[in-house]
Amino acid sequence: MAAQTLQQPSFLLANLKADSITKPLLQRCQDLVKIIDEYPAKELHLIFPWLVESVFGSLDGIIAGWNLRLLHSRSNEYNIVMEFLNPSGPMMKLVYKLQAEEYKYEIPVSYLPGPVKACIQEGVLPDCPLFHNKLQFPLSGLLTLNLSLNPFEFFMFNFAYCLIMPKIYPQGQLGSSTDSAYFVLVDTYLKYFLPSEGSVPPSPFSDSRGSVTAPSPRSSSVSFAGYGVHSPSLLKHHIFHQPSVNADPAAQEIWRSETLLQMFVEIWLHHYSLEMYQKLQSPQVKLALLQYRLSMSSMPCQPHAPPGFGTLHTYQVLLPFHSPPPLWGLLEEPFTPTDEHVLVVRLLVKHLHAFSNSQKPEQLPSSPSAHSHTHTSPLEEFKRVVVQRFVQQKLYLFLQHCFSHWPLDASFRAVLETWLSFIQPWRYTGEKSNPQPDQNRVVPDKWESFVQENLLVYTKLFQVFLNRAVRTDLVNAKNALMVFRVAKVFAQPNLPEMIQKGEQLFLEPEHVLHHRQPRGYLTPSQGGSYLSSRQRVVTDMVFRVKSHVYALEGQDCQYKQMFGTELRGAVMKLIQIIAQARQTAKRISDHSNDVAANSSFLSWFGLGSYDLNTTFSGAEPEESGECLKKTHEFLDRALENLCQIFKLNQGQLTQLISNLGSSQDDGNCKQLPDCIQGENGLILTDLGRRQIINGLRRFDIQYQGDLELQPIRSYENALLVRLFYRISSLINERFGGHMNALCTRPDFLGRLGRRYLTDPSSTIKLKHSPLSRRTLERNNQPRLSLRPLASYRTILLLMFLYVFGALLSLGPVSSTVLILTGGFLYGLLMTLFGDKLKTH
Q: pLDDT tens, 189-241? A: 999 999 988 888 877 655 433 344 455 444 333 333 333 433 333 333 333 33
Pairing of strands 146-149, 135-136: antiparallel
pLDDT of 93 over the 90 cut: yes
- Reading phi first (left if > 0) and then psi (alpha if -120 to 50, else beta), residue 125 is in beta
DSSP letter (8 states) at residue 188? H
Q: Which of 21-25, 89-93, 167-171, 557-561 has the lowest mean pLDDT?
A: 167-171
pLDDT of 524 over the 50 cut: no
pLDDT score of 110: 86
- Residue 697's pLDDT band (cuts 50, 70, 90): confident
Contact indicator for 319, 125 with CB cutoff of 8 Å:
yes
pLDDT of 688 over the 60 cut: yes
φ and ψ of 80, to 5 deg? -65, -45
Query: Cβ contacts of residue 52 below 8 Å, gap of 6+?
Result: 154, 155, 158
Q: Which of 58-62, 384-388, 553-557 has the lowest mean pLDDT?
A: 553-557
pLDDT score of 35: 93
Distance CA 811, CA 816 (A): 9
φ and ψ of 740, to 5 deg? -65, -40
Bridge partner residues of 44 (DSSP)? none
pLDDT score of 480: 94
Distance CA 142, CA 122 (A): 10
What is the rounded average pLDDT of the residues 282-300? Answer: 48
φ and ψ of 94, to 5 deg? -65, -40
pLDDT score of 464: 95
pLDDT score of 679: 76
Alpha helices for 423-476 (secondary structure H) = 448-453, 455-469
pLDDT score of 226: 37
Amino acid in position 652: Q
pLDDT score of 262: 92
Amino acid in position 72: H
pLDDT score of 1: 39
pLDDT of 634 over the 90 cut: yes
pLDDT of 280 over the 50 cut: yes
Q: Which of 154-158, 368-372, 463-467, 823-827 has the lowest mean pLDDT?
A: 368-372
- Residue 792's pLDDT band (cuts 50, 70, 90): very high
Classified as helix, coil or strand, 729 is helix
Sign of CA dihedral 570, 571, 577, 579: negative
Question: Which range scores top for mean pLDDT: 286-300, 342-356, 362-376, 597-611?
Answer: 342-356
Pairing of strands 124-125, 317-318: antiparallel
Distance CA 533, CA 536 (A): 5
Show the 3-state SS of 369-416.
Answer: HHHHHCCCCHHHHHHHHHHHHHHHHHHHHHHHHHHHHCCCCHHHHHHH
Query: Cβ contacts of residue 447 below 8 Å, gap of 6+?
Result: 425, 426, 498
Contact indicator for 135, 120 with CB cutoff of 8 Å:
yes
Q: Which of 555-564, 590-599, 606-615, 730-739 has the lowest mean pLDDT?
A: 606-615
Query: What does each C-alpha distance from 826 to 365, 725, 840 come to in angstroms?
Result: 102, 24, 19
pLDDT of 769 over the 80 cut: no
pLDDT of 733 over the 60 cut: yes
Query: Cβ contacts of residue 256 below 8 Å, gap of 6+?
Result: 152, 193, 200
Helix (H) or strand (E) holding 678: strand 675-678
- Residue 277's pLDDT band (cuts 50, 70, 90): low
pLDDT score of 760: 57
pLDDT of 320 over the 50 cut: no
Q: pLDDT tens, 512-523? A: 544 444 434 344
Distance CA 218, CA 98 (A): 21
What is the rounded average pLDDT of the residues 351-362? Answer: 88
Name which residue leads in pLDDT, 353 or 656.
353
Per-residue DSSP letters for 273-335? -HHHHHHHH-HHHHHHHHHHHHHHH--TTSPPPPTTTTSHHHH-EE-S---PPPPGGGG----
Distance CA 472, CA 466 (A): 10
- Reading phi first (left if > 0) and then psi (alpha if -120 to 50, else beta), residue 247 is in beta
- Residue 489's pLDDT band (cuts 50, 70, 90): very high
Q: In 3D, which of 214, 108, 208 has the Cα closest to residue 161?
A: 108
pLDDT of 508 over the 90 cut: no
What is the rounded average pLDDT of the residues 652-670? Answer: 60
Contact indicator for 342, 402 with CB cutoff of 8 Å:
yes
Q: In 3D, which of 828, 826, 822, 824 has the Cα closest to residue 805?
A: 822
Cα distance from N-terminal residue to C-terminal residue, the chain: 113
Distance CA 722, CA 727 (A): 9
Alpha helices for 406-529 (secondary structure H) = 413-422, 448-453, 455-469, 477-490, 495-506, 510-516
- Rounded-to-10 torsion of CA 691, 694, 697, 701: 110
pLDDT score of 619: 43
pLDDT score of 580: 86
Q: Which of 209-213, 273-277, 467-471 has the lowest mean pLDDT?
A: 209-213
- Residue 583's pLDDT band (cuts 50, 70, 90): confident
pLDDT of 105 over the 80 cut: yes
Mean pLDDT of all residues in the chain?
75
pTM over 0.75: no
- Rounded-to-10 torsion of CA 182, 184, 187, 189: -70
pLDDT score of 510: 62
Distance CA 479, CA 635 (A): 10
Amino acid in position 344: V
Distance CA 649, CA 638 (A): 15
pLDDT of 601 over the 80 cut: no
Classified as helix, coil or strand, 105 is strand
pLDDT score of 837: 61
Name which residue leads in pLDDT, 314 or 461.
461
Q: In 3D, which of 495, 491, 406 has the Cα closest to residue 455?
A: 495
Q: In 3D, which of 478, 481, 487 has the Cα closest to residue 409?
A: 478
Distance CA 100, CA 56 (A): 23
pLDDT of 350 over the 90 cut: yes
What is the rounded average pLDDT of the residues 728-742? Answer: 88
Helix, strand, coil share (%) of the chain residues, nearest 5? 60, 5, 35
High-pLDDT (> 70) share of the chain, %: 66
pLDDT score of 276: 62
- Residue 461's pLDDT band (cuts 50, 70, 90): very high
